[in-house]
Structure 1
Amino acid sequence: MPLELVPVRCLTDNYAWLLHDNGRTALVDAPEAAPVLAELAARGWSLDQIVLTHHHADHIQAVPELVEKTGARVLGNARDAARLPPLDQPLRPGDRFPLCGEEAEVIDVPGHTIGHVAFHLPGSAMVFTADSLMALGCGRLFEGDAETMWASLSRLNALPGETLVCSGHDYCRGNGAFALSVDPGNAALQKRLAETAAGQRPCAPATLAEERATNPFLRVRELADSLGMSNASDARIFAELRARKDRF
């Protein structure tokens, strides 16, 4: 059985993610303590693990309070340990470790930050991508270049299509508007945005197959002709799309 997945809305537009199975609970990223603690209390869950995707404050700032109140162990990228809260279990890309009793894999996804990682749970068909691959978009390139981010997105895009993509923010309105501006004839995109606007579904999570059909940053080859870049490499097309989104 897949792990139970609970999205927790934090701050203005952040997602934190709770995972639960057989009395064990894990949290992916810690933007804000109060909503997480409230969700735990409502469900009668204790918190055992906190896994961190990258060092930005809106993903780690609640760690001290959550550790103090729950005693949870903290896991994160050993290569970025100097910028993360103290780690009880340093991880490295390629590592496999138990998360709520299920094997999780650490995937290297630099670009938004150099130390950004994602967590893939093949048994539950989930991947936690934070600010790398995002719902209908991708993160800004604060510490990496376009080639680095394209390699990261390609790594994630190689996962099975049924994988549920759990990203770090609800940027659906802005990401969706940009996606429509470069892919206006995409019926799957129009349908997804209409359902989200009508409250029929949340912005995230979505399957990787759905992101492939609606996310312009995974559709670089499909958009090459309309961008006038038919002969350009995928990485170069991605760079153009990311630059356009930065100006959008």
Structure 2
Amino acid sequence: MENRKRFFLEIAYDGSAYHGWQTQPNATAVQEKLDKALHTFLRETVETVGAGRTDTGVHAKQLFVHFDSNHEKLVNQPERCVHSINALLPFDISVQRVIEVDKEAHARFDATERSYEYHIHFHKDPFLINKSWLLRDIPDMEKMNLAAEKLIGTKDFECFSKSNTQVFTNICTITEAKWVKNDKGIVFHITANRFLRNMVRAIVGTLLEVGIKGKPISYIDDVLASKSRSQAGTSVPAHGLYLTKVAYTYI
């Protein structure tokens, strides 16, 4: 199998119908559908490795996965391969491109940063069902942005991590955290080198404690210092969350 090469796929998906990215025994996941389509197209067993995993109902505008294959068309006709693989996938999952990479390249471990968005709208809109969170109260965005600035930097974010999650460290480096208005409502943008499980949804819920419930901006400092999930805000619904970018030095 010396001829096997490593490839990255850039994919996107609407997570509404799936129990997250990662294949699991008793639920339908995005990875399961992708691996099945690749198996059919390549006529060989394929095990993809994703840049990360999204939870049930979370969407991805960009996610990279890697896999190994010796299929010549992946090298010689990548655009045709994209078309063929997409024809085998459900309507809510798409492959954007296929890229040959170094044999040691790794979709998860080589990622240098990841970006997410959380979408909130304030007026009932049937076209935003499962795509954005409908919120009755309009929060103080200026105050939330001042609170979000306190997240920037390299810190221990254990307070925003799902309980009983086994990770080697809770230290992350956040380089962007801000709220922006759009024509439907507001969007929270956040970028970091890595994220803990449920971290973004917990951060959004905590910032809304400041923007809606009137807690002081210093509340963020208190939550971070506590290292306790119980001190942070409630996790907001999954359907407003999008993984929007995964960055690498070689793509």
TM-score (norm 1): 0.27
Q: Which has the higher contact order (CA 8 A, sep 6+)?
A: 2
- Give the number of the structure whose alpha-carbon radius of gyration is greater: 2
**Higher helix fraction: Structure 1 or Structure 2?**
1
